[in-house]
Structure 1
């Protein structure tokens, strides 16, 4: 597209091929590093969510890009309960072990995602051997066993754990998940307590979406205070940051500042920017489903130049905020490596052509990539 070189020139940057990114020295004129991890080294980790194909080596291009550009990884799915603990009497660490080995091999900051969530948790977790709902004490025992086993296996290897995921409603109240209904609100505190016992040196995170909303953010801060009041360390609040072209970077800045005032660091844990039309209020609830309609997939043949420019500016504005608050932000993780592998191609409308990340469907850097590099020079 013609807009690519035009946007690059606007940022004073060239457009090298992906294969040369790791080797290319910074331009003497701009001194802009060629990789994300180099650009933000010493400020915060730049991470990426990795999928099974990348963990097993089946996606060689994806692996090359991950190693070149990022210094932190998060597993998309292989550590979620349904995959790592599929049956009451069996754990399957096959892919999780490979994930951790990949991170260790490349000297990355390794994130475990996640220990307790209402989604992608098998139905058997909440039922006894007769199919009846578990009692509070029995479900607590089951949660304890899971956390002790998983965290204990990777003690000293996984540096950071998303302990509890998405425990809040949009108004900041506790979500009526099976965890909450059977155990009560204190399941969150128990999960953090047991994760800390299993690995006292691991960084523990609470992770949720729509932290840009003042009401939900207030609920998250109250939750953090309750965990701390129980004597359990919670170091980080993860703001997923599944964003859209609309909105302002000021919303993200407000969240960072308020969480900092509450005494926790902030990780941007699942960053992507949806450029496609929305009819579902931009929620990141994985249970959302929307009927496929042509008007919801307007860019099947490529992203128009004007939308590409909007995406570039949105990323530039966001990273200007992250850079400004690098004393509070300790990690920024993209939810996927390239546009081709993004979950937004199939959620909540299946089969769409989405463009939410810094690398296109062929693994080549987009104009937004260079805008993000430039943000570290401000």
Structure 2
């Protein structure tokens, strides 16, 4: 072989080696799901654009970073059964198919919730409240149909959502008014009958309030005493920069774990914006009048010191989850990237918020690397 050919071969080999090494190096960059493997699932909520693939950038982030998904809206009763007996599974089927194809832990959200429920669910042809018997039968039909369709595919269900108030009293929803507080027991019973292998959860916000925390604990004890299956408590995790305290949040986590419950952070986001009220939680009926001082970062730029503060608090929460990883089974962000978040319009319409781990360009925020570093050290 001529000298020039040997040199060319050497150079080609070197280029290929460098290219392969660079590619392998890029592949070694840890993701959230890599760093948290063996600790808990890390998930996100999917909207319609991601489920259908229209948001290709969002889909890329989901596949790269997360190993669990939940539907943001397409499995709520108003979406899935808009008229009695007329079920629309088109988007829900795509959501479940995406999860199965990508080997993701799929959570169904949610079966019984007073909000985003179709009006017919509670009324007769004349618009009057239906009887307790009719209401129970409608609950049973809805749960059997939805849970039964995805038996073996959906691993866990948010069976009842937001039924308890901050002071520990029952929310005066139509389910409570018509059926009574045993609507919770019946919902869990029906869900278990529809899929005996699926995990069943109670999901709520502001679940760190002492009154609500203690009422949830009592609800768990009552269900278990009656032989009704309940596997976990979903702590929605809609938090702010100054509330709740880590101590209060941890106390709730410990209280639920002490009852034998799996603890899940199911709808995590952390608003970086100022708030006039500390008790807003996730009650979507809340609406605070727009004021410019409540929307300070409209141009997409968050001051570095404020971003550092946000990073530190988000890391504090993840360190708390890691500390209790024996009990925490899943942490799910309520959205993929900042542009997707419902917090852009809640509780003040028209705001620009930055509550998630990925920015509007679907790039990881600085907090992501810090979370990955903390997880890999444990």
Which of residues 149, 167, 187 is equivalent to 1:191? 187
Q: Match of 1:58?
A: 54
CA distance in 2, matches of 1:125, 1:25: 50
Q: Match of 1:343?
A: 342
CA distance in 2, matches of 1:23, 1:58: 30
Which of residues 107, 114, 131 is equivalent to 2:110? 114
* Mapping of residues 1-378 of structure 1, within 5 Å: 24-26=26-28, 34-247=30-243, 248-281=245-278, 282-301=280-299, 302-376=301-375, 377-378=377-378
List per-residue Cα deviations over 1:163-217 (Å, max 9, x = no partner).
0000001101111100000000000000000000000000000000011211111
List per-residue Cα deviations over 1:224-266 (Å, max 9, x = no partner).
1111112111110000010001133222221111111111110
Question: Which runs of 5 or more residues in structure 1 are unaligned?
Answer: 1-19, 27-32
Question: Which runs of 5 or more residues in structure 2 are unaligned?
Answer: 1-21
On the 8 A contact 1:171/1:215 being kept in 2, the answer is: yes
1:24: Cα distance to partner? 2.4
1:130: Cα distance to partner? 2.1
1:372: Cα distance to partner? 1.3
CA distance in 1, matches of 2:25, 2:87: 41
How many residues get paired? 353
CA distance in 2, matches of 1:222, 1:23: 51
1:21: Cα distance to partner? 11
1:96: Cα distance to partner? 0.2
TM-score (norm 2): 0.91
Output the aligned Cα RMSD: 1.5
CA distance in 2, matches of 1:265, 1:343: 26
Q: What is the DSSP-based 3-state SS (H/G/I as helix, E as strand, rest coil) of the residue aligned with 1:24? A: helix
Q: Match of 2:7?
A: none
CA distance in 2, matches of 1:360, 1:131: 45
1:317: Cα distance to partner? 0.7
On the 8 A contact 1:22/1:34 being kept in 2, the answer is: no
Q: What is the DSSP-based 3-state SS (H/G/I as helix, E as strand, rest coil) of the residue aligned with 2:332? A: strand
CA distance in 2, matches of 1:177, 1:24: 52
1:89: Cα distance to partner? 2.6
CA distance in 2, matches of 1:151, 1:124: 20
In our comparison, the structure showing a higher alpha carbon Rg is 2
Q: What is the DSSP-based 3-state SS (H/G/I as helix, E as strand, rest coil) of the residue aligned with 1:272? A: strand
Deviates more, 1:100-109 or 1:247-256: 247-256
Q: Which runs of 4+ in 1 moved over 4 A?
A: 20-23
Q: What is the DSSP-based 3-state SS (H/G/I as helix, E as strand, rest coil) of the residue aligned with 1:234? A: coil
1:94: Cα distance to partner? 0.2
Q: What is the DSSP-based 3-state SS (H/G/I as helix, E as strand, rest coil) of the residue aligned with 2:96? A: helix
Q: Match of 2:17?
A: none
CA distance in 1, matches of 2:104, 2:150: 14
Structure (1 or 2) with the greater helix fraction? 2
Q: What is the DSSP-based 3-state SS (H/G/I as helix, E as strand, rest coil) of the residue aligned with 2:315? A: helix
CA distance in 1, matches of 2:24, 2:189: 41
Deviates more, 1:198-207 or 1:316-325: 316-325
TM-score (norm 1): 0.91
CA distance in 2, matches of 1:87, 1:280: 37
CA distance in 2, matches of 1:307, 1:129: 54
List per-residue Cα deviations over 1:260-291 (Å, max 9, x = no partner).
11111100000000111112323210111111
CA distance in 1, matches of 2:24, 2:201: 31
Q: Match of 1:14?
A: none
CA distance in 2, matches of 1:170, 1:252: 14
Q: What is the DSSP-based 3-state SS (H/G/I as helix, E as strand, rest coil) of the residue aligned with 2:350? A: coil
On the 8 A contact 1:24/1:34 being kept in 2, the answer is: no
